[in-house]
Amino acid sequence: MPLQESELVSETPPREISKERPTSETEETDKRNLLIIRPSSGWRIVDLRELWRYRDLLITLGVRDIKLRYRQTALGAIWVILQPLLAAGIFTFVFGKVAKMPSDGVPYFLFSYAGLLAWNAFSSSLNNGSGSLLANSQLVSKVYFPRLILPLSTLFSTLVDFSVAMGMMIVLMVTNHVSPHVGILLLPLWLLLVLLLAMGVAFMLTAIMVSYRDVKYAIPVLVPFLMYASPVAYSISAVPGKMRYFFMINPLSGLLEAFRWSLLGTGHLEIGYLCWSACCAVVAFVMGALAFRSMERRFADVI
């Protein structure tokens, strides 16, 4: 018997889908767990709060660089001492024995080694920091983190190398009967200014290197010229008086002389030149950080 149309229709109406709106507590929880990443706006130097949030990454990258630097080397950390010792020996022969340049009353080997301590801290920070973005290009293009961490993480290996070489400096001072004086308390300040100057230049170079790889090949050529234009292997007193003013335009000149004065007590601190060097170091760091931050948003697209 065929069913009537009234019997085909279910007596119970279809159950409607509930569309309840989330409670206010749920909305607040979702907003609290939501992380919004926006590009930085304006000219900002360093976002210290963001760097502090990523401090674990900064430490991890720094420790990684230290471990990788001397992996699979027979001498290991001895190279940190051997390199400046060999360079100091060459400077002693060329500038001390052949050119007969003054060493301000201390053995020339000790004199040149003290200059190399500060110079190696500068050149190591500059070279490692300027190539940090390209060395970590895969990390930059895939993961978000403050890009400024990459050049800053290279300071870990620089400070470790400086500490090891400084231990050798103490041994040389003891064997040459050179006693430290109260000026050694200012040594951390000079080291800080040297690192600020190096990192400021490194910030600019590593940001430019992302777009222009020519910088990568220019740095190894220009850095040795800068070393011989700075009082690393010779004293500022060896420079003729008429040229000394132009020579001290180089901010490294005042810092290297102050560094050597704190260790050995040689030379004289020129307050005017020293203030110039300190201002250049601070300005270079600020300008480098600003340039880095302004170009940071396009690193992942270009690198």
Taking the alpha carbons of 274, 275, 277, 278 in that order, is the dihedral positive or negative?
Answer: positive
Concatenated DSSP letters of 164-176: HHHHHHHHHHHHT
Number of domains in the chain: 1
pLDDT at residue 172, rounded to an integer: 92
- Among the listed residues 221, 219, 197, 227, the one whose alpha carbon sits nearest the alpha carbon of residue 84: 227
Long-range pairs for 208-213 at CB < 8 Å and ≥24 separation?
A: 209/130, 209/131, 209/133, 209/134, 210/133, 210/134, 210/295, 210/298, 210/299, 210/302, 210/303, 211/302, 213/134
**Distance separating alpha carbons of residues 35 and 140, to the nearest angstrom:** 19
pLDDT at residue 28, rounded to an integer: 55
Global confidence as pTM: 0.81
Q: How far is CA 276 from the centre of its chain?
A: 21
Task: Determine which of 140-149, 195-204, 219-228 has the lowest per-residue pLDDT on average.
Answer: 140-149
Q: pLDDT tens digits for 49-100?
A: 888 888 898 999 998 888 887 776 666 667 788 888 999 999 999 998 888 8
Q: Is residue 74 part of a domain?
A: yes
Total residues belonging to the chain: 303
**Distance separating alpha carbons of residues 139 and 133, to the nearest angstrom:** 9
pLDDT at residue 12, rounded to an integer: 46
As a whole-number percent, the residues of the chain with pLDDT over 70 amount to: 82
Q: Is residue 109 part of a domain?
A: yes
pLDDT at 290 over 80: yes
Q: Cβ contacts of residue 238 below 8 Å, gap of 6+?
A: 101, 102
Task: Determine which of 19-23, 41-45, 114-118, 129-133 has the lowest per-residue pLDDT on average.
Answer: 19-23
Q: Is residue 36 part of a domain?
A: no
Q: Is residue 71 part of a domain?
A: yes
**Distance separating alpha carbons of residues 201 and 230, to the nearest angstrom:** 16
CB distance 156 to 62 below 8 Å: yes
Q: pLDDT tens digits for 100-130?
A: 888 888 899 999 999 999 999 999 999 998 9
pLDDT at residue 11, rounded to an integer: 45
Task: Determine which of 26-30, 173-177, 232-236 has the lowest per-residue pLDDT on average.
Answer: 26-30
Q: Is residue 9 part of a domain?
A: no
pLDDT at 15 over 50: no
Q: pLDDT tens digits for 211-269?
A: 888 888 889 889 999 998 899 988 888 888 778 888 889 999 999 999 999 999 887 78
Q: Is residue 25 part of a domain?
A: no
- The pLDDT mean for the chain works out to 82
As a whole-number percent, the residues of the chain with pLDDT over 90 amount to: 38
Q: Cβ contacts of residue 1 below 8 Å, gap of 6+?
A: none
pLDDT at 196 over 90: yes
Q: How sure is the predictor about 36, in pLDDT bands with cuts at 50, 70 and 90?
A: low
Q: How sure is the predictor about 26, in pLDDT bands with cuts at 50, 70 and 90?
A: low
pLDDT at residue 302, rounded to an integer: 67
Q: Which domain holds residue 188?
A: 54-302
**Distance separating alpha carbons of residues 106 and 116, to the nearest angstrom:** 15
pLDDT at 197 over 80: yes
Q: Quick one: average pLDDT of 129-139?
A: 85
Q: Is residue 122 part of a domain?
A: yes
pLDDT at residue 23, rounded to an integer: 53
CB distance 296 to 40 below 8 Å: yes
pLDDT at 31 over 70: no
Q: What's the number of CA atoms in the CB half-sphere (13 Å) around residue 36?
A: 5
Q: Is residue 37 part of a domain?
A: no
**Distance separating alpha carbons of residues 238 and 103, to the nearest angstrom:** 9
pLDDT at 287 over 70: yes
